[in-house]
Structure 1
Amino acid sequence: MSVTLDEIAQFFYGSGEVVLGWHGAQEELIALAEQTFPGKPFCLVKQWIIADLQLTQAEQDRLASMGLLPKAVYAHEVVEDSRRRFAPGHWVRANFGISHDHPYMFETKSTVYLLLGDGVRKPAALSTVFSFRA
């Protein structure tokens, strides 16, 4: 499915619900993540968006059956990636989440995204969010 420039602009620049992120020292957030998710790689990000994916009920049920949330994170800026997959200053789009129980941490199967500063939460089409590729 093709995505329009208007849909992408709305995702990046449209309004959304402001969500509080971490405002303390980065080292403290990293230590908290290592305690909460021992051994799991982390990616420290800022200028982030939590996308509540707009899915059909069948798509939601399928994700739930795989233990996945209908959410993803997009960040305009990587600050630090513990496995050096993403260079500082680069953008990143996470895969589907598996937990978002901690307000400053968004967990996927492979990584915990640590959310620095305030971000935005907004609904988005699956095709829009997953159209971003490095």
Structure 2
Amino acid sequence: MQDFDVSQMIGPSTVMAGAKMELKAAIELTKQRFPDSSFCMVNEWVWVDFDAPELVLKELGEQGKLPSILLVFGVSLDSSTSSNFHWFRTTPLMDFSDSMFFQTENKLYVLMGDGRRTSMPLSTLVRLF
């Protein structure tokens, strides 16, 4: 799928489970639970918890955001575009539910299958991704 080794890019990580259902069922569930949301079904993903200076964490908290993002390397479906993505990172997490719904300010990401979870300093995250 990709021409690079994600594990070398992100360093040590653990397996994190996402939705264990067929894509069609996950799409229907997403539409029922979040009828007015733009959503993206991701099938190759890394959850990154980032360490940041206290001031940055405070500002995120005041905006209702948490110090976590997704790195997405595979998309099954994006409800708002037909673009083919090579990879992208999301904006910070606002809410996570049902072990699969990663809500950001502008989009809902549905974690399909197993992904990875890691942590890194914000400065490293910005430099690499």
- TM bin, normalised by shorter chain, reads 0.7 to 0.9
Q: Does 1:129 align with 2:125?
A: yes
1:44 is matched with which residue: 34, 41, 45? Answer: 41
Paired residues of 1:50 and 1:72 also in contact (CA < 8 A): yes
Between structures 1 and 2, the one with greater strand share = 2
Q: Which residue of 2 aligns with 1:66?
A: 63
Alpha-carbon offset, residue 13 of structure 1:
4.4
Q: Which residue of the partner structure matches residue 101 of structure 2?
A: 105
Query: Once the two structures are aligned, what percentage of the paired residues are identical?
Result: 27
Counterparts in 2 of 1:19-38, with a 5 A limit?
19-38=16-35
**Farther off after superposition, 124-133 or 95-104:** 124-133
The alpha-carbon deviation at position 42 of structure 1 amounts to 0.7
Which stretch shifts more, 77-86 or 61-70? 77-86
TM-score (norm. length: structure 2):
0.83
Within a 5 Å distance, the mapping from 1:76-95 to structure 2 comes to 76-84=73-81, 86-87=83-84, 90-95=86-91
**Helix, strand or coil: the match of 1:64?**
helix
User: What is the CA deviation profile of residues 31-53 of structure 1, one whole-angstrom value per residue up to 9, with x for unaligned ones?
Assistant: 22222222101111112100101
Read off the aligned partner of 1:63 and give its amino acid letter.
L
- What is the aligned partner in structure 1 of residue 52 from structure 2? 55
Q: How large is the RMSD of aligned CA atoms in angstroms?
A: 2.1
Letter aligned with residue 14 of structure 1: G
- State the Cα distance separating 1:121 from its structure 2 match: 0.9
**Superposition misfits of 4+ residues, deviation over 6 angstroms:** none
Aligned twin of 2:14:
17
**Equivalence for 1:4:** none
TM-score, scaled to structure 1: 0.81
Mark the runs of 5 or more structure 2 residues left unpaired by the alignment: 1-5
CA distance in 1, matches of 2:50, 2:118: 9
Q: Distance in 1 between matches of 2:64 and 2:51?
A: 17
Residues 103 and 60 of structure 1: CA distance in aligned 2, closer, same or farther (over 3 Å): same
Count of aligned pairs: 124
**Is 2:10–2:118's contact at 8 Å kept on the other side of the alignment?**
no
Secondary structure of the corresponding residue to residue 100 of structure 1: strand
